[in-house]
Structure 1
Amino acid sequence: MMLHIANVLSAEQVHALRQTIDSGPWSDGRASVGEQGARVKHNRQLPLDHPVAQQAGATVLAALQASPHFFAAALPLRIGAPLFNRYEGGETYGLHVDGAARREQSGWLRTDVSCTVFLSEPDSYEGGELEVVDTYGSHFVKLPAGDAILYPSSSLHQVLPVTSGVRVASVVWLQSMLRDDAQRRQIYELDQSIQSLRSQYGDGPEVLSLTNLYHNLLRMWSQM
């Protein structure tokens, strides 16, 4: 499931983040990938252990965790440290798949869901679309600064070359309570239906019945 989440970060938060990270110690992005990724990755990133990346990462994590849509769609069990990347002058990250697991300070994290939070306005750079390939074809994503896109980590994807301007984004990987993407989609759609019905009719018997179904499915399918 791909999901666009608007306004994860406010304009003020984006501005403050860019002030924090733009002068940071950007380094070769190939340092954080394996052999396959290194052949197609040409960008720069902030080292995860640098204080600038950790300070900015805390802001991104807090904003994501405050988003009801992020929680409903991703059902995060564990969230990795945000990575900040930067593309300009033709830099790109060719077609690849994210590794099945990432080593975090707290141990290994299974990558079920990938999340890109855009930190550059789309009219400030040319190219740089995130292309996600699934069974329905290719989807090209270029969102306003502060918006996020969720997509399965199992998807083939790439960042197209940035031919002018600068593309800055944060990428987060998470391990979900539900490993299976189809189950996450069904749970999310059920949740959204419940929220819509509740706003119209309150907690009537039908809404309570659907809420019971939601929690029983989550209890049955979850990997916790």
Structure 2
Amino acid sequence: MILHIPDVLTKTQVQQFYQTLEQADWVDGRNTVGDQGAKVKRNLQLPEHGEVAQQLGKIILEQLNNNPYFFAAALPLRIVPPLFNRYEGGGEYGFHVDGAVRGFHQSPNLLRTDLSCTIFLNEPDDYEGGELIIQDLYGEHEVKLPAGDMVLYPSTSIHKVTPVTQGKRVCSFFWVQSMIRDDIKRTSLFELDQVITRMRTKGESEDTLALANHYHNLLRMWSEI
């Protein structure tokens, strides 16, 4: 499932992020990937253990913690602290696949990457190119969202960022380990949750209670916690 989640950050937060990131010290993004990724990656990134990345990442995690749409879609168990990248002057990231496992800063634990997330931090009109292209069984999907919006997609997907030929593209990106490993099961639970939510706008009933019971029993059966 590829999902657009609007307004993860407010416009005020986006402006504050962008101003902070304009003053930040960026490094070559190839330093953060293995040999395969380095061959097709040309961008800048914030040092992931730096003060700016940690400060802004904390705000993103707080916003996600209060976003019921994100929770319903991702059913997050653990989240990699958000990272930040910048593309300009023809910068791009060719087709690649995200690593299946990632480490945590100052933690001995590893995280399985079930879902990849990108939050756009400037408007689409600010730059040319820079589309996120995600492949799945139905072909290629082009993503370029308003500032503050996020795309959530399976980490199993092959994807790329097209060259930024004018302006600059600034984003945050990170990964989620879900309580539900299987994308089909996770999508089914999300769709069931959305049906229950819509039904509840008309009031509680025996049917909404029965569906909620079914949802939670499936979550108990499938979750890995």
TM-score of the aligned structures, taking structure 1 as reference length: 0.98
**Alignment coverage as a number of residue pairs:** 223
Consecutive unaligned residues of structure 2, counting only runs of 5 or more, are none
Q: Which residue of 2 aligns with 1:43?
A: 43
Aligned positions of 1:22-41 closer than 5 A:
22-41=22-41
Deviation at 1:33, TM superposition (A): 1.0
Letter of the 1:24 counterpart:
A
Aligned-partner SS, 2:201 = helix
CA–CA separation in structure 2 for the residues paired with 1:19 and 1:64: 21
Identity %: 59
Letter of the 1:185 counterpart:
T
Aligned-partner SS, 1:206 = helix
Q: Which residue of 1 aligns with 2:196?
A: 194
RMSD: 0.7
CA–CA separation in structure 2 for the residues paired with 1:185 and 1:143: 22
CA–CA separation in structure 2 for the residues paired with 1:32 and 1:133: 23
Conservation of the 8 A alpha-carbon contact between 1:177 and 1:222: yes
Deviation at 1:30, TM superposition (A): 1.1
Where do 4+ consecutive residues of structure 1 move more than 4 Å?
none
Name the stretch that deviates more: 45-54 or 16-25. 16-25
CA–CA separation in structure 2 for the residues paired with 1:207 and 1:14: 37
CA deviation vs aligned residue, 1:19-66 (integer Å, no higher than 9, x gap)? 112211100101211111111110000001110111111111111221
Q: Which residue of 2 aligns with 1:165?
A: 167
Residue 217 (1) aligns with residue 218 (2): yes
Aligned-partner SS, 1:77 = strand
CA deviation vs aligned residue, 1:180-206 (integer Å, no higher than 9, x gap)? 000110000000000000111x22111
Name the stretch that deviates more: 20-29 or 128-137. 20-29
Aligned-partner SS, 1:115 = strand
CA–CA separation in structure 1 for the residues paired with 2:154 and 2:65: 18
Conservation of the 8 A alpha-carbon contact between 1:21 and 1:53: no
CA–CA separation in structure 2 for the residues paired with 1:131 and 1:5: 17
CA–CA separation in structure 2 for the residues paired with 1:35 and 1:61: 30
Residue among 119, 132, 135 paired with 1:133: 135
